[in-house]
Structure 1
Amino acid sequence: MATLKNFSTFIILLVVTVALLPRATFATIGIPNCSKGITSDCGFGFFKIIVLGDTSTPADVCCRELVKAGKNCHNQFVELIISSKKPIRGTISDVYRRGNETWNNCAASSVVSPPEPAH
């Protein structure tokens, strides 16, 4: 019964958090061109992973968007989340850890292969 109560509380927290957060999260951070190229769906996906602890893996296209936006934009996104005082899952350290893991995974998977040599 306690598990059901905890799950219900988490769902309510999730709904409230999502309702309070604009879908185009990267667009709100105030760094020129950070939101350019980050779709709202990808931004929201990163939010779910970093803030809510969603264990899904970002789509390859989202990782490419994130890497193209750059590490500075990603760091500003994480800082915005923490400074916004919005509910997070876990601690601030967890948010930083999940943010770093997300960046590292995306950066590693978004390596652009060199073109095939001409024969």
Structure 2
Amino acid sequence: MTKQCGESIRLRVAMNVGPPPTKDCCAQLVKVGKPCHDAYVQERHLKVHDFVGSAEDLLKRSDQVWTQCVNFIHPPAEAPGHFD
């Protein structure tokens, strides 16, 4: 992951500031995987309390960013039209 994307995601998850990650940054995040993303949040932010709000807030924002990125990169398929 590039330093710029990592910082963008860090600010969004830990500090609750900045815009949502770009499609390129989301692609990089999805490529590293959810276990890596979760481990980074746990080790880098949760253990040293490097975030705003509660631990629950941090974990919620982490999951929100992950889900937004996955949906950005792999949008859910539309349901087939049964009444066409």
The question of a shared fold, defined as TM-score above 0.5 by the shorter chain, is answered with yes
Q: What is residue 46 of structure 1 aligned with on the other side?
A: 9
Of stretches 53-62 and 66-75 in structure 1, the one that deviates more from structure 2 is 53-62
Aligned residues between the structures? 74
> How far off its partner does 1:54 sit?
1.2
Q: What is residue 47 of structure 2 aligned with on the other side?
A: 83
Q: What runs of 5+ residues in structure 2 fail to find an aligned partner?
A: 76-84
TM value normalised by structure 1:
0.59
Q: What runs of 5+ residues in structure 1 fail to find an aligned partner?
A: 1-37, 113-119
Q: Distance in 2 between matches of 1:92 and 1:85?
A: 8
Task: Trace 1:1-119 onto structure 2 (pairs within 5 A).
Answer: 38-80=1-43, 81-86=45-50, 88-111=51-74
Structure number with higher relative contact order (C-alpha < 8 Å, ≥ 6 residues apart): 2
Identical positions, percent? 26
Q: Distance in 1 between matches of 2:53 and 2:59?
A: 11
Q: Distance in 2 between matches of 1:95 and 1:39?
A: 22
Q: Deviations over 1:29-88 (max 9, x none)?
A: xxxxxxxxx0010111111001101151101000000000001111111102101233x2
Q: Could you say which structure has the larger radius of gyration?
A: 1
RMSD: 1.3
